[in-house]
Amino acid sequence: MICSVAKHSILLLNVALLSVQLSAQTPSPSSTMASAAEKVLMPYVQKEASWAMEQLPVTVTASTSSRSSGGKHDFFSEGDYWWPNPKSTDSPYIQRDGMTNPDNFIDHRKAMIRFSRVMGSLASAYLTSKKERYAAQAFRHARAWFIDTATLMNPHLLYAQAIKGRFTGRGIGIIDMIQMIEVAQALNVLEKSKSAKPAEFIQYRAWFEKYLNWVTHHKYGIDEMNALNNHGTCWTMQVAGFARFTQNDSLLDLCRQRFKTLHLPGQMAMDGSFPKELARTKPYGYSLFNLDAMVMLCKMLSDKQNNVWEFALEDKRSIRKGISFMHPFVEDKKKWTFKQDVMYWDNWPVAHPFMIFGAIALNDQALFNTWKFLDHAPTEDEVIRNLPIRNPLIWIKE
C-alpha cells in the first residue's frame, strides 16, 4: 500500500513537472502575437534603417522664420488652421477650423518628425540585428539635438503654434512635442548598446528633465494639461514618455492618476466614443488620434504593479471599450455613421498603434488581423504628424 501511494505521488510529481516544462516551452498568446508583429514589420524596419543611415542631422537651427519671436535654437511653428484675412493682409490671421494653411511655417515640426523617424528606425534596426552601426548613427543625431551647442534645441515650446498678429506662442502648441516620445524611447533602447556613452546620457536626460520642468510649471503647459480633449491626452502622453526616460516615478504616478480620473471619465462616452473629438471638423481622424494617445498611456504606464490596460470605471468605461467602439470603423470605414472629415478623409485609417498594442495587451486576434493589412508606411504629412508612434518594435521588444 505504501509502495502504491509512493508510486502515485511520484507519478503526480512527474505530471506536474511535465506541465511546468510544457508551459515554459509554449509561448503565451501575447508573445506569439508580438513575434508575428515583428515578422510583419521587418521589411519596413530594414527599408527605413537603410534610409536613416544616409541622413545627416537636421535640427531647428537649420531654418528660421521672420515671424518667430524666439531665437535660432527655439522651436517655432504656426497654428495650422489660421489664415490671412482676405479683407486686410496686414491684419491678424483668422481661423478656418480643420483647414490647414499650407503657407504657415512648419519647418521645425518637420525636422522634429524627421528626427523621430531616424531615431525610431535606427533603434528598431539595432534591436533586431544588434549591429552597432545603427546605434552609432542614432547618437550622431541625438548629440546634434540635445548636446552640440551650435545645433541643439532649447528645451521648451514657448513659440509653438503662434498666430500672426495674435500670439507669439500658445499652450496648444505643446502638442507638437509628441514627436519626441519615440526619440526618448529610442534612447531607452540604445542605452544598452556598446556605442552608448554614459556621460552623454546624463546630458540627454538633463535635457528632458528641463523640458519636463517647463511643461509642468509654465502657464502654457498648465493650460494644455487642463485641456479636456486630445490636447490634454497628449500632454499626459508626452510627460509619461519623458518621465519613463528620466525615471521620474512621481510624474508617472501623476500620469496614471490623470488617465483614471480625468481622461477616461472626462472624454469617453458610455459607448466608447470620444464626443469632443466627434464634434470636430475631422471627427474620424481626431477619434483615431485620441484613441492612439489613450492606448499609449496604457502601454507606457503599465508595469508589474500597475495594469492600466485592465482599469475600468464603475460604469465599465475602459480602454477596451474605446478600442471596441473604433475597431469596426477601421475595419470598414463605410460603417462610419458620423460626419466625414473636411480634409484627409481618404488618408485614414493606417496601421494605428492602438491596434497593435491593444491586440497584444488584450490578446485580440481580430484587432491584430486588421492592423496587419493596413498601411504601415504612410506618406501623407498630416497622417504622419498625427501618428507619433511609428516604430512599434521599440515598444514591443523593449
In a domain, 21, yes or no: no
Cα 211 to chain centroid, rounded = 17
Kindly state whether residue 24 falls inside one of the protein's structural domains. Answer: no
How much is the pLDDT for 86? 84
Asked whether residue 305 is assigned to any structural domain, the reply reads yes
Domain count, the chain: 1
Residue 59 belongs to a domain = yes
Look at residue 30 in the predicted model and tell me its pLDDT: 76
Residues near 355 by beta carbon (within 8 Å), at least 6 away in sequence: 323, 327, 330, 367, 368, 370, 371, 374
Maximum mean pLDDT: which of 17-31, 70-84, 316-330: 316-330
According to the model, what pLDDT value does residue 398 have? 80
48-52, 76-80, 350-354, 384-388: segment of lowest average pLDDT = 76-80
* Res 29: pLDDT: 65
Q: Are 396 and 128 in contact (CB under 8 A)?
A: no
Q: What is the pLDDT of residues 76-108, one digit of tens each?
A: 998 878 888 888 878 888 898 888 888 889 999
pLDDT surpasses 60 at 346: yes
Q: Is pLDDT at 12 greater than 80 in this prediction?
A: no
344: left (phi over 0), alpha (psi -120 to 50) or beta: left
219-235 residues labelled b (16+ CB within 10 A) or e (exposed): ebbebbbebebbbbbbb
List the CATH number of the domain containing 83. Answer: 1.50.10.100
Residues in the chain, overall count? 398
Residues 6+ apart with CB under 8 A from 228: 262, 266, 267, 276
Shortest CA distance to 388 belongs to which of 318, 326, 297, 309?
297
The contacts of residue 341 (CB under 8 Å, 6+ apart) are: 98, 281, 282, 283, 284, 285, 348
Mean pLDDT for 110-139 is 98
Q: Which three cell numbers mark 193?
A: 548598446
pLDDT at 99: 85
* Cα torsion through 226, 231, 233, 236, rounded to 10: -70
Q: Which residue has the cell 527655439?
A: 74
What's residue 184's pLDDT? 98
- Position 88, amino acid: S
Q: Cell for 326?
A: 473604433
364 closest CA partner among 12, 17, 26, 33: 33
Asked, for residue 7, whether it belongs to a domain, the answer is no
Confidence of residue 21 (pLDDT cuts 50, 70, 90): very low
pLDDT band at 24 (very low <50, low <70, confident <90, very high): very low
Residue 2 inside a domain? The answer is no
**Cβ(54)–Cβ(96) below 8 Å:** no
Q: What is the pLDDT of residue 202?
A: 98
pLDDT at residue 281 in the model: 93
pLDDT at 22: 39
* pLDDT at residue 16 tops 50: no
**pLDDT value of residue 18:** 39
Q: How far is CA 135 from CA 130, 190, 201, in A?
A: 9, 6, 13
Mean residue pLDDT across the chain? 92
By the 10 Å C-beta count (0-12 exposed, 13-18 middle, 19+ buried), 217 is classed as: exposed
**With 0-12 CB in 10 A as exposed, 13-18 as middle and 19+ as buried, what is 110?**
middle
Chain centroid offset of residue 294 CA = 10
What's the whole-number mean pLDDT along residues 195-208? 98
Lookup: cell for 330: 477601421
pLDDT of residue 4 exceeding 60, the answer is no
Average pLDDT over residues 349-354: 98
Q: What is the pTM of this model?
A: 0.90
Domain extent, residue 76, equals 30-396
Residue 88 lies inside a defined structural domain of this protein: yes
- 135 and 141 in contact (C-beta within 8 Å)? no
12 in any annotated domain: no
User: Strand pairing of 82-83 and 94-95?
Assistant: antiparallel
